[in-house]
Amino acid sequence: MNHFQSVNPAQILLLKAALFPANEALIYWEKWRSLHHLTDDKVLDNEQALPPVFKNLDAGSYRLMPLIYRNLEQTSDLLVPHLKSIYRNTWMKNQFVLKKVREAVAALQNAGIETMLLKGLCMALIYYKDLGVRPTADGDVMVHTKDVKQAIAVLKKQPYNYDIASFDNAMSDYIHAAHLFDQDNFDFDIHWHLLFLNRTAEADAPFWDAKNKFNFPNGLTTSVLSPTHQVLHNLVHGNFPDVAAPIRWVADCYVICQNHEIDWLEILKIAKEKRMLVPVLEGIALLRSEFKLILKPEVAAQINQLKPNPIEASYHDFLKKNVHKKSALKKAIKFYRKASFEYDLYHADYLKIPYLAYLGKKMSARSYAHLTQS
């Protein structure tokens, strides 16, 4: 049976090499190099031997390399110079992402639509303050639920010419965000909810209420999450089973916590209310045990008293045991059970329709989405 593992031991070594002070980080970097047989100076001098090592890494580990480069660039480690090209490539790609996102945000705001910058570009600009260390493949911006249709209509117009992915368009009632693509095939994601399973306007109210202002390099102003809510988003979005684990959530949380006072009681309160305690508690446990997160006694006491909703605990246990299902029958069973858990946890209270009616509508929309997918 395949079990979910949020962050594996080799990835923990890489994260520590990326985040800890350089003299300490080198110890973990050398341990990671040893795992990949990269301790011989002759191997390190052979540029042809190195690309396969990076090419065969999982995506999460590879995306840490620019941050490791920046953390260790002043050391004498022989492998670090080989990471410079990865850093430069990340910087160039993020410049393109920044240009596209800035244009889209300006268009939305000119139409009177409030925006909030999310995820990778936000992290790179605000918390890392370096576009080269935090890879991001797309742009992510949230708008109010009431503004979604208008926002998509604005971006569809010239000169932007974005088009919503047909699958996302058909499934809009069952998702929290949609992919839009322009003629350059740039992926701009419009979010109308922050937490992907809490899909009501009320669920997002605390995040809009506590928003901070951010100025793009050219002076354009948008909103961003507060540092506390940014940590919450990283914990939930990054540490959730059933998706390819983007282990950079650990680095993102670490960097924010190093430089900002986090209201952990607020995080725990929202996680409990929104039934997202499992990824939040597991994420906090990892940060405490491996990444030097120190909590105030009252926060630690609260954590010790908290227990996830039994249905939430069962839901996450089910997901962790069923991450990789290949046969059509097992996928179908997983879809049915997963939908049942999510209905009970997140949707029954506001939908006010029986589960089978909800499932029928969702399956009908999903079937149509697959038929029209482009």
Question: How do residues 349-372 score in pLDDT, each as one tens digit?
Answer: 999 899 999 999 999 998 888 888
The answer to whether residue 36 scores a pLDDT higher than 90 is: no
* Residue where a domain stops, chosen among 34, 59, 88: 88
What local confidence, expressed as pLDDT, does residue 370 receive? Answer: 84
* pTM to 2 decimal places: 0.94
pLDDT at 40 over 70: no
Residue 115 pLDDT:
98
Strands (E), 159-240: 163-164, 177-181, 187-191, 212-215, 221-224
pLDDT at 217: 86
- How many angstroms separate the first and last alpha carbons of the chain? 34
DSSP secondary structure of 146-198: GGHHHHHHHHHSTTT--EE-HHHHHTGGG-SEEEEE-TT--EEEEES-SSTT-
Last residue of a domain, one of 88, 103, 124: 88
For the chain, how many structural domains are there in total? Answer: 2
Indicate the pairing of strand 212-215 with strand 221-224. antiparallel
Whose structure tokens read 């059509």?
A: 328
Residue 53, in any domain of the structure: yes
157 burial class (0-12, 13-18, 19+ CB within 10 angstroms)? exposed
Highest mean pLDDT among 16-20, 52-56, 365-369: 16-20
In a domain, 132, yes or no: no
Tokens of 340: 């049942």
90 pLDDT exceeds 80? yes
What's the pLDDT score for residue 1? 35
Q: What integer pLDDT is reported at residue 45 of this predicted model? A: 62
Angle between helices 65-72 and 22-35 (to 10 degrees): 130
257-263-267-268 Cα dihedral, nearest 10 degrees: 120
Q: What is the pLDDT of residues 102-159, one digit of tens each?
A: 999 999 999 999 999 999 999 999 999 999 999 998 999 999 999 999 999 999 999 9
Residue 54 confidence (pLDDT) above 80 = no
Residue 266 lies in a domain: no
The predicted structure's pLDDT at residue 374:
55
For residue 52, give the H/E element and its range: helix 50-55
Q: Is residue 40 in a domain?
A: yes
| Domain C-terminal end among 70, 88, 106 | 88
**Residue-wise pLDDT tens digits, 2-16:** 445 679 999 999 999
Q: What's the pLDDT at 78?
A: 84
Residue 61 lies in a domain: yes
Main-chain dihedrals φ then ψ at residue 282, nearest 5 degrees: -65, -40
Q: Do 115 and 129 touch, CB atoms closer than 8 A?
A: no
Q: 338 in a domain, yes or no?
A: yes
Q: How much is the average pLDDT of 163-169?
A: 92
pLDDT at 173 over 70: yes
pLDDT tier for residue 42 given thresholds of 50, 70 and 90: low
Q: Give Dmax over CA atoms of the chain in angstroms.
A: 67
Strand bridging mode 139-142 / 221-224:
unpaired
**Which 8-state DSSP code applies to residue 63?**
T
For residue range 308-357, list pLDDT tens digits in order.
999 999 999 999 888 776 788 888 888 899 999 999 999 999 998 999 99
Full residue range of the structural domain in which residue 27 is found: 9-88
d(C-alpha 150, C-alpha 38), whole Å: 53
CA 297 to chain centre: 29
What pLDDT shows up at residue 242?
Answer: 63
User: Which stretches of 113-228 are assigned E, i.e. beta strand?
Assistant: 116-117, 139-142, 163-164, 177-181, 187-191, 212-215, 221-224
DSSP type of residue 175 = -
Q: Alpha carbon of 195 to those of 188, 234, 346: distances in Å?
A: 18, 10, 11
The percentage of the chain sitting over the pLDDT mark of 90, rounded to a whole number, equals: 76
What is the mean pLDDT of the segment spanning 283-295?
97
The answer to whether residue 46 sits within a structural domain is yes
Asked if residue 37 is part of any domain, the answer here is yes
Average pLDDT, the chain: 91
Contact 77, 68 (CB under 8 A): no
pLDDT given for residue 143 in this prediction: 98
Q: What are phi and psi of 142, to 5 degrees?
A: -105, 145
The pLDDT assigned to 178 comes to 96
Mean pLDDT over residues 39-53, rounded? 62
